[in-house]
């Protein structure tokens, strides 16, 4: 196990974590961004399985949120406003009339304080950042901490912690685009995905939750026994079409199933399993990914990656019955998502 720390542009630092299986993860203190995850395929060929820029300086813009920590609230907040105890708070409208992923000054564009650490069988970095009261329009001063830990079992553990000095809203996630083919050799069309979810949240034509939960049964949103992503890309289901021919939807996870999500690429044999104590996940299939970005493994195009944004639901700010993003004063927030990498058993 070891950590390599490299100074890059301005006061950015890149941390590369490597375990005894030669799996490695590179992170920036800017945005807490995951730039690369290198893991073996079935032939023990080690390749990168996330999208990242060839030139680190391009993360300063990053309109597609590649690899970044997202907050204070991941997802879209309807009409860029919400109310707590009768007081309305107005946020930046950075996607039409709505607020997306914390706004322009969100956690994806701040320099986090970084503390690397190493134990006998783990290596990692803890990132911390104070988000002051009123920042981006949000109430409360929030102490945020996101810790990335790499184990010798090829697990990347992401721990999110926060406390606020007043009632506020918060749900943090990571916005990595995964592509298990390795070095972006193929799109994600044939990635086989399993999600332990019976319901997903219906969206309107601006991708804002309508307040309806839809049963996945007999739809391209039924991933309970596994299905390829291409089913949704080619689907005539209204929800797939309005998302840009694919998925950008919140799936409510079945709390009884610990391994909430599994992704498999048959050609490389790579498998990623996701476990989380978050109540749901937004699966986004890069339907609207900017084309022609100079990424580490080639120019970007639609469907080059797939995001699994484990989080609560900002729909809870405007509709009853959804996993809440509200955080009370002085109540610790702690969520964990674990990405485990392996290969298909032959």
Catalytic positions are 175, 309
Q: Using an 8 Å Cβ cutoff, are 248 and 203 in contact?
A: yes
Closest CA to 257 of 224, 220, 211: 224
Q: Using an 8 Å Cβ cutoff, are 209 and 135 in contact?
A: no
DSSP 169-205: E-B-EE---B-TTSTT-S-STT-EEEE-EEEEEEE-T
Q: Using an 8 Å Cβ cutoff, are 307 and 193 in contact?
A: no
For tokens 């329009």, what's the residue?
Answer: 137
260 DSSP 8-state letter: E
Kindly report the backbone phi and psi dihedral angles of residue 191, in degrees, each rounded to the nearest multiple of 5, phi listed first.
-60, 130
Rounded distance between C-alpha atoms, residue 176 and residue 168, angstroms? 26
Rounded distance between C-alpha atoms, residue 75 and residue 53, angstroms? 22
Rounded distance between C-alpha atoms, residue 145 and residue 18, angstroms? 22
Rounded distance between C-alpha atoms, residue 22 and residue 209, angstroms? 42
* 3-state secondary structure at position 53: strand
Closest CA to 69 of 1, 151, 128: 128
Which two three-digit tokens encode residue 168?
């506020």
């Amino acid at each position: 196990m070891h950590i390599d720390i490299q100074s890059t542009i301005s006061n950015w630092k890149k941390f590369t974590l490597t375990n005894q299986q030669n799996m490695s993860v590179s992170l920036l203190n800017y945005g807490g961004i995951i730039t690369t995850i290198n893991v073996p395929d079935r032939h023990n060929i080690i390749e990168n399985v996330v999208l990242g820029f060839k030139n680190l300086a391009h993360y300063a813009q990053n309109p597609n949120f590649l690899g970044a920590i997202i907050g204070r609230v991941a997802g879209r907040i309807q009409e860029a406003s919400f109310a707590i105890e009768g007081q309305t708070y107005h946020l930046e409208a950075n996607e039409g009339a709505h607020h997306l992923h914390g706004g322009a000054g969100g956690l994806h564009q701040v320099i986090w304080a970084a503390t690397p650490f190493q134990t006998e069988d783990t290596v990692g970095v803890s990132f911390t950042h104070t988000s002051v009261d009123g920042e981006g329009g949000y109430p409360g001063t929030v102490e945020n901490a996101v810790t990335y830990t790499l184990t010798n079992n090829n697990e990347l553990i992401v721990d999110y912690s926060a406390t606020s000095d007043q009632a506020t809203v918060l749900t943090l996630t990571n916005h990595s685009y995964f592509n298990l083919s390795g070095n972006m050799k193929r799109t994600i069309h044939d990635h086989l995905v399993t999600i332990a979810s019976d319901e997903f949240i219906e969206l309107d034509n601006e991708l804002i939750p309508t307040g309806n939960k839809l049963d996945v049964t007999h739809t391209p949103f039924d991933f309970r026994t596994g299905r390829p992503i291409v089913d949704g890309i080619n689907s005539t289901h209204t929800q797939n079409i309005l998302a840009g021919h694919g998925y950008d939807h919140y799936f409510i996870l079945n709390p009884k199933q610990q391994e909430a999500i599994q992704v498999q690429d048959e050609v490389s044999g790579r498998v990623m399993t996701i476990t989380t104590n978050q109540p749901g996940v937004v699966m986004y299939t890069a339907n609207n990914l900017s084309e022609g970005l100079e990424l580490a493994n080639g120019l970007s195009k639609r469907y080059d990656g797939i995001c699994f944004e484990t989080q609560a639901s900002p729909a809870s700010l405007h509709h009853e019955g959804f996993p809440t993003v509200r955080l009370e004063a002085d109540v610790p927030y702690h969520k964990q998502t674990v990405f485990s990498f392996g290969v298909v058993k032959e």
